[in-house]
Structure 1
Amino acid sequence: MKELNQLSNLKWYKIIVLFIICMMASGIIISPAPIFSIQKMIQLLFTVTISIVFFIYPKKETFMFKGILIYLIAGYFYSLFLLYPETTLNFVFITVLPCIAIAFFHKKIYYSIGIVNLIGGYGIFAYIYFIDQGERFPYFLEDYWGNIINFTACQFIFFFVFFITNSRTEKLKLYYEQIQRTERLKNTGQLAAAVAHEIRNPITVVKGFLQFYEEDQLIPMKSKQHFQLMLDELDLAEKVISDFLSLAKPNTEKTPVSNVNDTVHSVVELLSSYASANNIIFSLSIHDNINVHCSKVEMKQLLVNFIKNAIEATDKKDGIIKISTELHESKLHLLIEDNGIGMDNEEIEKIGTPFYSLKSNGTGLGLMICYNIIENYNGSIKFSSEKGKGTKVTIQFQIAR
């Protein structure tokens, strides 16, 4: 999701960027170095490059641009430190560099710049101690080891702040996603309850007359050639309505229990011929005698849906679908992993939305029903995927003791 899409955010971003550019330009103007000195030329080069990236960034909020921006800023701070050794504040900028990376809330960017900054900081200390020996940076040697300890402590404090903040942000993101999904299911269920019965009645009448006329010998075969197509389409419409009604139907029965091992093997046996026809093999690693809170029928529905999707997404000759379980305290994680076409982040975010499907003939309701089943049993579903490499589905169940 792009953070700067909103007009108010973009407005504040531009104000802050203009302020930063003005400060950088002021630094060039008030610098004691001669106008055409190497110091000012390097400083000007960084200022212009960073300014350009700042203005392009709102249109290209990608991982690459975030990385380019943070590393340009890092290069700017390090160059200021080396070009103007008399300004002690420049090392403070290097010390707090990871704070800028925290603002992006991107783990890879933060960890990479954190490691680079640690190496760069220790490199500076080594240079001052062994090569410079206090000639350009005498204030460092006054408390050499104290400076090293303070620098290291700051890096770990920033790491701790990022780790805690990022963990909470991810939990909040997951929480809001669950709320949105629950609200979506609720709205879909209300819609289903309101219109499904009214639609099903005329469909049943039309379907009955079509079947009656199809068997009528007085009607020429030429006139009946499209009857089966119409019946198939009516069957599809009835299936969509049934799927909608299953979302609207409340779960009033006592929480049932099913054996994971038995159910998985049953579904794999059911779909083995379909998998073989597509040159796909199964690899199973399932715990024995583990029961979870989920009815056997609904668990079969879940597994058939996910495994069938995995088969249809795998078009390789050496296709393999791995099904395994992991125990996490009172929870069981059921993993279904394929080496198929995979999905990008945008496609993953849309999964579970009514009528969104990556299959040409799909309705998108199958996965929505799976989400509904899992949420009824206080479980969760997580997708991780990469284009061209495959998809992994992690279904979390509560273990029945």
Structure 2
Amino acid sequence: MIETLLLNVLFLLFPVLIAVIFFENRLTKSNEYILISISSVVLIFCMAFPFTLETGFIFDLRYIPFIIAALFGGYKMVLPLYLVLNSYRFFIGGEGIYHSLIFSTVIFIVVPLLSRRFIQQNGKSRMIYAVVVTFLVTVFYFITLGFHYPNLTSEFWTLTVYALVIHIIVVSIIMSLIEKVIFNVKTRELYFRSERLKDIGDLSASIAHEIRNPLTVTNGFLQLLKGSKTITADEKGYIEFSLKELERAEKIVSDFLTFSKPQSAHMVYASFKDEITYVENIMKPYAKMNQVDIQVHFTNSLKKKYDENQMQQCFINLFKNGIEAMKDTGGTLSIDVVEHKNNIIIKIKDRGVGMSCEEIAQLGKPYYSTKKEGTGLGMLMVYSTICNVKGTIDVESKVGKGTTFLITIPV
């Protein structure tokens, strides 16, 4: 039995090892399908090498990958496993086919409903969540199994205890490894993002002012030339194009300047209320022009030290992006600022065009923008500002349904 148990655990570890070795840095949709396929094979192997007890009862760990896939991926990820599990169970045949079908169907219907709440938890809470769900599922399994036996002997109760202990231990091991992989990926991404922001900050501080001076001089001479009566209409058109390009270059330089280190003259110790109110007021005309209503709910009393100007620009960029995401349909831009366990939580939600998972992964990278004429520096500035106050940004979005930015700032 010990050998079979270790073999089943090895099967269950296989998808985790594959993810770490091959897909840790690039978990795309195609790679997810590969992991689902591998998990299906693992499920089959668990059923092919079950535990055979002295009482003659046979059971295995097939429901562990089934439950984990349901919690992490919802119906979309667990459906293939559901089909594989029942198809192979019918292929094996024997007693208990319909009990397995009914039980797996109940899990398939109920457990994925918990997926959204499960994903929103932190690593430790997700681990506890998975253990509790596995415990309840295993208890439910033996309760339903008990109806098939007229007398529940001591062997049955011994089996129940063993099964509960084994499932809890194995799920704890698998979940701890998965959470470690997730933690490593996030830590590495934060490190790379921090390095990028540092490099851009150093670069912008050293060259932005030097670029702005010749741009200002050139703009002035072009304005004088534009007012001359000796140039043709075509030449005036060329000057107009030149001025527009200079204006665009000036905007890019201004974006770069926001990455410089916070200035002590602008540092404040406050709750973000003044900055949110200021940005709300200056963005209302732009929102009204795009048929967007801005709704702000502020209930935070915690305070944090930050650069006032940078934080205002950060909120301007986020508000502007939310408004522009709804410019074709209109809607409501919701901003909620609350406090939770010594954290200031800022939630900015729109009902706009939304983003795909690939687009979310690219946010904050230099020169990446979902807008045709965007430079990507606006979102880079947002990530830089939040990084300066030791905060984090979580993005939830669905194409066609909107985007939510959840900013958590520790106090």
TM over 0.5: yes
Pair 1:118 & 2:138 matched = yes
Summarize deviations over 1:25-66 as a string: whole Å, max 9, x none: xx7xxxxxxxxxxxxxxxxxxxxxxxxxxxxxxxxxx98785
Amino acid paired to 1:355: Y
The within-5 A match list for 1:262-341 is 262-287=274-299, 289-315=301-327, 319-341=331-353
Pair 1:350 & 2:362 matched = yes
The gaps in structure 2 that reach 5 residues or longer are 1-17, 25-30, 49-72, 97-103, 105-115, 120-128
Structure 1 range deviating more: 267-276 or 116-125: 116-125
Determine the C-alpha separation between the residues in 1 that align with 2:214 and 2:241. 18
- Return the offset for 1:79: 4.6
The within-5 A match list for 1:153-302 is 153-192=165-204, 196=208, 200=212, 203-247=215-259, 249-251=260-262, 253=264, 256-287=268-299, 289-302=301-314
Contact 2:262 / 2:307 at 8 angstroms: preserved in 1?
no
Amino acid paired to 1:390: G
- Return the offset for 1:394: 1.5
1:381 aligns to what?
Answer: 393
Pair 1:75 & 2:86 matched = yes
Amino acid paired to 1:182: S
Contact 2:302 / 2:339 at 8 angstroms: preserved in 1?
no
Amino acid paired to 2:86: G
Determine the C-alpha separation between the residues in 1 that align with 2:88 and 2:166. 17
2:403 aligns to what?
Answer: 391
Determine the C-alpha separation between the residues in 1 that align with 2:91 and 2:144. 13
**How many residues get paired?**
331
2:53 aligns to what?
Answer: none
- Return the offset for 1:353: 1.0
- Return the offset for 1:124: 6.4
- Return the offset for 1:155: 2.9
Cα distance change, pair 150–73 in 1 and its aligned pair in 2 (3 A): farther
| Secondary structure of the structure 2 residue equivalent to 1:256 | strand
Determine the C-alpha separation between the residues in 2 that align with 1:326 and 1:166. 31
Cα distance change, pair 81–327 in 1 and its aligned pair in 2 (3 A): farther
TM-score by length of 2: 0.66
Cα distance change, pair 252–266 in 1 and its aligned pair in 2 (3 A): closer
- Aligned-residue identity in percent: 26
Cα distance change, pair 156–315 in 1 and its aligned pair in 2 (3 A): farther
TM-score by length of 1: 0.68
| Secondary structure of the structure 1 residue equivalent to 2:304 | strand
Summarize deviations over 1:189-240 as a string: whole Å, max 9, x none: 4554676566556544543432231122221234212312211111111221
Amino acid paired to 2:245: E
Summarize deviations over 1:327-356 as a string: whole Å, max 9, x none: 123220111111111111111110011111
Cα distance change, pair 204–253 in 1 and its aligned pair in 2 (3 A): same
